[in-house]
Structure 1
């Protein structure tokens, strides 16, 4: 019932949380598991407000007791394989509930820290040989609670680190274990401040090797293999059922009905979209373990794609940029950052500075060819795999996940370009190869320029790449007309960051062209486009970016002067100046952050100065 979002309010009104809480400690294992499952689904489908309410109603007290009892029962009552309502099954539902609460409530994270639940997660992780689903749930939860959690860093023991490293070095080849290792790698990166100096190099090497191995996997080919394996398994089961008579066949048909085109996986995908609300700041919630038990191949395929997505996200964090907004799927964190000292070096080690890559991280990423692997993942998903998933309704949700991996790779590429030196990326020839690659993506079809997530990722990467190429005087392989077509599509996008990226691209392109003879006509085209945005866009940040780009394009040179006269730039900016100032005065406070207002104030000052500069040219 509570997997359907419309039922959540009525269930909550009937005091479901207080009624289900005591059942977490019922004597019957089946009651424990199903009550934990109901609360888990309620937390997943109800969203942050419901999670906060559950924490306020003290659901964590019985949940913590349940988890400790489950962990003490792992060795006392080892569960036979394939048995129902095992202690691991109960723990799995409980860990998922804990994960959802901690992902949506800072108070839940605080309780997690005070209750010392890190050891509980480690014990569940260590069960990966017997119950990989439980270990995966624990790894997801660990990846969440270790993020920006200075209080937890102080409680990490050598034993915990050793246990995580042991999981990282496991050799299982299935996709669920690949995802498990990737999540543990991300958790270790979050915990890097607590790793002893003597172990840092070894841990970093194993961590990057894990991420690299995940990106090595050919998702398109593996998904098709898994689909074929599912078809063979179902055919075999039908043959066995037919041999056992009508009763066995009826059972199989019932199972297939549960896995039908309108099964739980599509509903979970819809819930994921609803919970995320289309906002990049929300974390992507994985519902794969809610798939019917028989969908092992689909579960494996989902784990493969999530492992690659997570690997790319961790690499983005490793290639930390000056601009927190560069991270397209993470909101700027407001949590405690006391683990970062004034000089930008983490306590307990020196693996990373927020403004650049350390030598150790840089070396590890290059050694494992991570930039090249990220570039490969930035390609469009395999057409054959997309087609195969499109033909099978229960696999259709994987198409979005494949597209998401590509977008994460593009954002990852953006951060790599911003953090690594040119030579490490193959010098001028290497950067031109990346530019050609991005051009082939953008101009593959007009439809891709309508996808907001793709546009945000590709314009971020293009902006970073073109800025580097301009600073190194490396010739660009895309024509101004091509870039204009990208920017025209981007400036029509509803996502503000896409419009800002597009304007920055025009500014970079124009300032480069201004140094070339015979570029006045193209500069006129760019200037006209920038003026239009600066005067018409409803968002002041976008208007400011357009003005900033104009300052860059027409700052110097005979071609720029000629183009400025042709488009009557001085008169246009004089007319725009009082309008911009008035909008900033009326709309600024309350609508924009202090940082944005500071930038806009600087642009207002620069606009006055630039008008003065243009007037000297006229005279």
Structure 2
């Protein structure tokens, strides 16, 4: 029960990998006019007023606390028709407002948007954009005045909105399939060479809608696949294009069932080559380099602006009557609005962000490639210990045979591509802590500060990826015993490198999952473990109070694995007693039955066999403690189980209960034999 298992990432909106709300460049939004007043302005005959209202609503919807006020006034039904407004500017700002609502509102809001039929105008808009909004209807003067491509900008907002609602709502995905939206959005991915931002939005949307969507697979004809392959192999080397290729590679992996078997090996190799190239880039060095580039660009632009201001001053000074006033206005304007004259696209920051998103996405897809099936959100519950239960009575825990699940297997194509593209090596490199110089840059630059979270997320995803690789690869492919020992040393350094043990929940879950998988692998091959029992106990004592149940499950499992190995070593009874007392206390006091069950399972592993284990069990009075606890555990399952835990969890807990009975009987047999 409770053995470590490959996890699968499901794409979740509103996370670091999800679409970010569209933010206007001005930091100060409009005055917070009442929601009702702004919504009323959507009906104004003037397109400029309607555009202003949409833009104002868009800004306000980035603040979660104001969303309920707009929802109470049917903001979705008010903005929906604006997607098909006769003004292109209104369409764009309305789509941006709805995009922000979907991104900032969460799952329930997205569900509500679909219920209020946002998909009807959205699909109509996407199809109209795909066939080309008839810009020719505009006067030649108006077309000349346009400083941007409204069709592509409207489509970008609309596709991001589509992405969000499809992430959250199965009805939206059904409508996507039924209405043939694939053809509409594919039209825009072909713009990757001239509008990579639009192509990235489409690629994100495609990766979302192709996940677990068999009804869409027939739409991926050979010609559609050719479009995707062309984009995936695009030669451009910017970070945004790296992100684009990574997302398309993820989409192709989602539709792998449509690829002819003879081509699958080449396709998997092409996908992992893209991931390998993305992971090979040093994100920390990229932060340092791009930050320096931004500084140089801004200095150059500032110097150019000052030159222009001097020219303006010289020209104005020619007039004697009002020259001083003009000079004063010129300087005042220049000093006050200098930032507006500087380039504001922050392309360097966007490039780094794209790289980190590409690396995170690649690591998540690699994790998914290691899965042979779709586990539920909780991996612990799905593993039954019924097949191990009889081992207590048979005393067959020698050589760690009862410690591990059967090794999972990668397909031949994936396994070969992993090795060819040095994927395990690249993953290991990403598990290191982010570059300290890069972190310092981000810490002292408000615009770059959000990158700290993204850098840490990449490290956590790499650790989770390492966990998956360890479970599906054999020891030789991982480099043999010495490589695993080096890896154990590396993980221990990550944990114990600082004076205090890490507290970040995401990191702690990832590192303990990786360590758990590593110790399982090493135990199964009788490879000596490098971390001392004292270190492991310190980790467990610090982590057992974590609010994250997965962390608590991992650490008690780690103790079980380590204790079962120590049980075969002479003069370890005292250490086994410490481990046993810790696990017994967790089993008795833990609020979560899942964690309590894992602690019991770890106890079974530690005290299943060996003279040292027998000695420690007697000294700590394990048998009477478990006999006293047995009815309490049964009662907890009966009282707390239903309603709080899933069917899978209850199934495993029943197995723990059965194994507890058998383990007690086994311990009683040992006691009789010893007398």
TM-score normalised by length of structure 2: 0.80
Match of 1:430 among 483, 497, 500: 483
How much does 1:565 deviate? 1.1
What secondary structure does 1:138 align onto?
helix
Structure 1 stretches of 5 or more lacking a match? Answer: 260-291, 333-353
- State how far apart, in whole Å, the 2-side matches of 1:500 and 1:532 are: 14
Distance 1:198 1:323, change over 3 A: closer
Q: Equivalent residue for 1:316?
A: 367
Distance 1:585 1:34, change over 3 A: same
Q: Equivalent residue for 1:69?
A: 128
Q: Is the 8 A contact 1:183 1:310 kept in 2?
A: yes
Distance 1:81 1:595, change over 3 A: farther
What secondary structure does 1:379 align onto?
coil
Q: Is the 8 A contact 2:126 2:185 kept in 1?
A: no
Q: Is 1:222 aligned with 2:286? A: yes
Distance 1:400 1:448, change over 3 A: farther
What secondary structure does 2:106 align onto?
helix
Distance 1:406 1:83, change over 3 A: same
Q: Is the 8 A contact 1:30 1:85 kept in 2?
A: no
Structure 2 stretches of 5 or more lacking a match? Answer: 1-59, 137-142, 310-328, 383-406
Question: 1:515-594 maps to which residues of 2 (within 5 A)?
Answer: 515-594=568-647
Question: 1:76-475 maps to which residues of 2 (within 5 A)?
Answer: 83-84=147-148, 86-245=150-309, 250=333, 254=337, 256=339, 294-320=345-371, 324=375, 356-475=409-528
Q: Is the 8 A contact 1:132 1:176 kept in 2?
A: yes
Aligned length: 564
- State how far apart, in whole Å, the 2-side matches of 1:610 and 1:220 are: 51
What secondary structure does 2:474 align onto?
coil
Deviations 1:543-585 (A, max 9, x none): 1111111111011111001111111111111111111111111
Q: Equivalent residue for 1:265?
A: none
How much does 1:17 deviate? 1.4
How much does 1:80 deviate? 9.6
Deviations 1:227-255 (A, max 9, x none): 11111111122112212227599479647
Q: Equivalent residue for 2:540?
A: 487
Which of the pair has more CA radius of gyration? 2
Match of 1:48 among 107, 110, 127: 107
Deviations 1:69-126 (A, max 9, x none): 212228987x999923521111101111111110111110010010111122221111
Q: Is the 8 A contact 2:557 2:602 kept in 1?
A: yes
Deviations 1:371-426 (A, max 9, x none): 01000000000111001110111111110110000000000000001011111110
How much does 1:187 deviate? 0.6
Q: Is the 8 A contact 2:576 2:616 kept in 1?
A: yes
Q: Equivalent residue for 2:84?
A: 25
- State how far apart, in whole Å, the 2-side matches of 1:323 and 1:194 are: 19
How much does 1:196 deviate? 2.0
- 409-418 or 294-303, which deviates more: 294-303
What secondary structure does 2:447 align onto?
helix
- In angstroms, what is the RMSD of aligned CA positions? 2.4
TM-score normalised by length of structure 1: 0.87
Q: Is the 8 A contact 1:374 1:409 kept in 2?
A: yes
- State how far apart, in whole Å, the 1-side matches of 2:453 and 2:156 are: 27
How much does 1:299 deviate? 1.1
